[in-house]
């Protein structure tokens, strides 16, 4: 096998939602009650829910794909400062072809990686309607025209279990067996712990229908900088491993013993830390078992983990070299397009550098087979391997401009002292601040020319 023969599936990418996303999925009356894409007088854009007086962070957070690396700290403020493939479905397919990637799982942006932006909304019925519209846009409009290119996935109104079960069943009928879920609902999201019996009907439904829970880093115990003065590179270095704490908690979920088909995907966490965590879990079980009284159904924790979890990496030579210790059947790839860790358009080259010395059967597992099996799809069987490879896809993308392009935005380096390392505090200053109800009203009047 060589680089051009690989089939690449990514289980962690991101979409910047376009301003037109609700047009086909809500009535005119209900669109007025949905979040709106708003650009202020300075050109900064965000999703703004006017009747809820709520605004997100900068809409383009970290959508730096295609920029010079010197501009990675220059956050795009609106879609005009991003590659079109970040927010346009057809252009995104072009960018996937250009890097040789066959399939992607697209996490939300303005809604939060788990949909948590919606959970504290005041008008709950309207919020459920908007979330259904989001799912319809994602499945029907973004994924639908491109069979085999996406893992269709949906948001859930997790504050209402009955509505959650109803939406999960609707998603299954639409062909989606994957949902966004917080890695630790109790940590920051004002939801019950995963160990609370309230979730039992959801676990059962997911088991029966083969629904995967996608748990992205930052949706549990969030990786945070030590201080505002900490170099941002310290945070970037440690960020992936922060998901290990949530993984250990999920591993102790008793529902895993009752439901053999209950599955969790750990997104953007890397894999190099997995062998030690599993070794530690087994030691804890054996050494502390007499007093902690944890039951793993006659198995070791490491065995349970490999039956229910999928891990992924962007660049992890140590993890790939030690694939047996991780578990060759639970490793997948993640591209992270369009975030700053993404290596587009050189994704195939960088992935190949991680796996080229592994057995061919293991390369296939890591690059696509494990992901397709975990999510219950098989584009290779449907479309033929010859049409899914890096070489075949890149042959379709000769028209795609992959040159590095400078864009505008707020530059974190402007807030740092000359020659000094960029700190977490410098980066924080680049984000659009949360506004008050008075700011919303004033901004609306300004846009209408009333003041």
- Give residue 81's Cα distance to chain centre: 21
- For 111-123, what is the mean pLDDT? 94
- Give the 3-state secondary structure of residue 28: helix
Which pTM was predicted? 0.94
CB count within 10 Å of CB 433 equals: 12
Predicted confidence (pLDDT) per residue in 14-61, tens digit: 999 999 999 999 999 999 999 999 887 777 788 888 778 888 876 777
- The distance in angstroms from the start CA to the end CA of the chain is 65
| Per-residue CA distances from 95 to 66, 103, 153, 386 (Å) | 10, 12, 20, 19
Q: Residue 178: beta bridge partners? A: 212
| pLDDT per position as a tens digit, 360-405 | 999 999 999 999 999 999 999 999 999 999 999 999 999 999 999 9
pLDDT over 50 at 437, yes or no: no
The Cβ of residue 166 has, within 10 Å, a number of other Cβ atoms equal to 15
Exposure string over 89-120, b if 16+ CB within 10 A, otherwise e: beebbbbbbbbbbbbbbbbbbbbbbbbbbbbe
What is the extent of the structural domain holding 73?
A: 3-447
CATH number (domain holding residue 179): 3.20.20.140
* Structural domain count of the chain: 1
Q: Count of CB atoms within 10 A of residue 217's CB?
A: 23
Q: Are strands 101-107 and 8-14 parallel, antiparallel or unpaired?
A: parallel
Run of H or E residues at 37: strand 36-39
Q: What is the mean pLDDT of the chain?
A: 92
What are 70-107's pLDDT values in tens digits? Answer: 888 878 888 989 999 999 999 999 999 999 999 999 99
Picking from 219, 30, 26, the residue whose alpha carbon sits closest to that of residue 123 is 30
| pLDDT at site 449 | 44
Q: What is the pLDDT of residue 438?
A: 45
Cα separation, 94 vs 83, whole angstroms: 11
| Cis peptide preceding 388, ω within 30 of 0 | no
For residue 451, pLDDT beyond 50 = no
- CA-to-CA distance for 400 and 23, rounded, in angstroms? 28
Query: Does 207 have pLDDT greater than 60?
Result: yes
Residues 199, 166: contact at Cβ < 8 Å?
Answer: no
Q: What is the CA radius of gyration of the chain?
A: 22
């Amino acid at each position: 096998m060589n680089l051009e023969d690989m089939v690449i599936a990514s289980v962690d990418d991101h979409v910047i939602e376009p301003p037109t996303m609700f047009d086909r999925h809500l009535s005119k009356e209900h669109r007025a009650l949905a979040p709106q894409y708003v650009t202020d007088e300075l050109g900064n854009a965000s999703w703004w829910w006017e009747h809820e007086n709520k605004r997100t962070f900068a809409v383009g957070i970290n959508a730096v794909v295609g920029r010079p690396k010197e501009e990675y700290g220059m956050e795009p403020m609106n879609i005009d400062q991003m590659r079109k493939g970040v927010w346009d479905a057809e252009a995104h397919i072009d960018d996937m072809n250009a890097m040789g990637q066959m399939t992607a799982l697209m996490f939300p942006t303005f809604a939060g990686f788990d949909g948590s932006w919606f959970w504290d909304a005041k008008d709950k019925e309207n919020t459920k309607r908007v979330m259904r519209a989001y799912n319809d846009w994602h499945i029907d409009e973004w994924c639908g025209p491109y069979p085999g290119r996406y893992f269709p996935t949906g948001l859930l109104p997790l504050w209402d279990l009955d509505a959650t079960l109803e939406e999960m069943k609707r998603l299954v009928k639409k062909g989606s067996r994957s949902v966004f879920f917080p890695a630790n609902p109790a940590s920051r999201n004002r939801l019950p712990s995963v160990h609370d019996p309230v979730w039992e009907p959801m676990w059962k439904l997911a088991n029966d229908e083969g629904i995967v829970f996608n748990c992205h880093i930052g949706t549990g115990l969030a990786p945070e900088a030590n201080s505002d003065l900490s170099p941002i590179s310290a945070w970037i270095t440690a960020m992936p491993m922060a998901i290990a704490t949530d993984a250990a908690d999920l591993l102790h979920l008793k529902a895993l013993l009752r439901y053999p088909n209950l599955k969790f995907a750990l997104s953007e966490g890397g894999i190099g830390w997995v062998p030690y965590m599993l070794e530690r879990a087994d030691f804890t079980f054996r050494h502390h078992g007499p007093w902690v009284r944890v039951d793993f159904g006659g198995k070791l924790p490491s065995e349970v983990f490999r039956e229910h979890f999928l891990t992924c990496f962007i660049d992890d030579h140590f993890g790939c070299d030690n694939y047996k210790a991780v578990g060759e059947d639970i490793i997948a790839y993640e591209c992270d397009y369009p975030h700053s860790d993404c290596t587009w358009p050189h994704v195939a080259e960088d992935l190949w550098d991680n796996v080229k010395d592994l057995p061919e059967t293991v390369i296939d597992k890591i690059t696509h087979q494990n992901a397709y099996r975990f999510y219950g799809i098989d584009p290779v069987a449907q479309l033929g391997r010859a049409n899914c490879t890096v070489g075949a896809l890149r042959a379709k993308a000769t028209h795609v401009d992959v040159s590095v392009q400078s864009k505008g935005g707020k530059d974190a380096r402007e807030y740092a002292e000359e020659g000094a390392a960029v700190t977490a505090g410098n980066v924080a200053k680049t984000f659009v601040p949360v506004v008050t109800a008075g700011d919303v009203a004033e901004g609306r009047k300004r846009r209408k020319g009333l003041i």
